[in-house]
Amino acid sequence: MGAAKGLTALVTGASRGIGAALAHRLAAEGAEVAVVARSLEAHAHLPGTLRKTVEGIRSLGGRAVAIQGDLSDTNARRRIADEALGKLGHVDILVNNAAAAYYMPFESYSEKRFRIALELNVHAPFGLAQQILPQMRRRRRGWILNISSATATPPPGPPFDEFATSGGALLYGLTKAALDRFSVGLAAEVYADGIAVNSLSPVAAVKTEGAEALKMIPPDRPDLIEPVEVMVEAAIALCTGDPRTLTGRVVCSRSLLEELGRTPRTLDGKADFREEGA
């Protein structure tokens, strides 16, 4: 434990799922964490709130503050960055996790959904990085992690599988492919400043409360399910690793852990995590 001791982190989309889990682990590793979501209170259909994330971290002795804001809005993004810098003093780690995912055929996408997906999945990480980077550069230290998706990889074919032919993740994958390219390009520009920028995807559907509520977890395909602890462990490695060597990567969680010889740990960082059936 203590890989992030003395560091500060800004994590978006942290009211549930990967964002909340990573915020807990960063705090367990010693970081002071600012967590961001659109609302402090409960979602109409999904479990988890920003308040609960903060309360959970504090109950275990960690340090966390909540910042409410809509990341799809340019003015709100500026305020969120300013508030994070004001509350934390500086930001060592920026995790762009918040995203909008729509799964439907191409002709069903509305202009509103297209705009929200681009704003939240591409413009928000781009804009937050622009606002957070100057103070990282002054201090010559920082880590930016963009949470991507396996859908950024074009579907193989022809023939194409049923997921792709029924609509699949055309728009979601488009935005995540843009995020991957942004990550590598920015990594090159800030390499000399001691700042790491990486893009991380799970190799399968991450088992979170939100994913289960939206029926994204296939009950009969355990091979398509990834425990959130696996994704979080890979994220911790990229948020605390040596920026001279671990940067400019577009990588999947399990392959990174195998490369680094790293074993997933529980979200409190106190024990090795054992997957079901392992």
Q: Catalytic positions, please?
A: 172
Residue 254 burial by Cβ neighbours in a 10 Å radius (0-12, 13-18, 19+)? middle
E-strand spans in 116-181? 142-147
Tokens of 235: 């994220």
- Which residues lie below 8 Å from residue 39, measured CB to CB, with a gap of 6+? 15, 49, 50, 68
Contact 97, 13 (CB under 8 A): yes
Bridge pairing between strands 93-96 and 8-12? parallel
**Which candidate, 120, 127, 95, 107, places its Cα nearest to that of 199?**
95
